Amino acid sequence: MSAVAACADRLKPLAGCCDIVSLKSAVQEVCAEFGKVTRIDILTMAEAEQRRALCFLRLESEAQESKLMTSLGVRRFGDDVLVVVDLPRRPNESRFAKTPLVSPP
């Protein structure tokens, strides 16, 4: 198994989270082996037909953050460690727009 695949496998459980509370808990659990998460901010977004969560987090030390980034294959965004999670579609979301792109005259 390649290093990239191993990193992806470790983050895979995060993609099953259906809400912010469960995602925050799951991120803290994944990161616990590297140190205590001292701050976590989660922003959700929808792009095209994909939902994503941007998880900005900090650990107690830069050394812990560096180890986390190396082990999980994630990067920094400013001073924070950024973990991007592809989220499942909500059950009531349609693949197609419910309103026309061009309004009738």
pLDDT band (50, 70, 90) for residue 90: low
What pLDDT sits at residue 17?
Answer: 85
**Phi and psi at residue 46, in whole multiples of 5°?**
-120, 130
Q: Strand pairing partners for 85?
A: 53
Tell the residue number behind the tokens 């005259």, with chain if given: 105
pLDDT band (50, 70, 90) for residue 100: very low
The sign one gets for the Cα dihedral 64, 69, 71, 74 is: positive
pLDDT surpasses 50 at 85 = yes
Evaluate whether the domain defined by 18-87 bears CATH number 3.30.70.330.
Answer: yes
Kindly state the DSSP code that residue 50 receives in the 8-state scheme: E
Cβ distance 59 to 76 under 8 Å? no
Select the more confidently predicted residue: 4 or 67.
Answer: 67
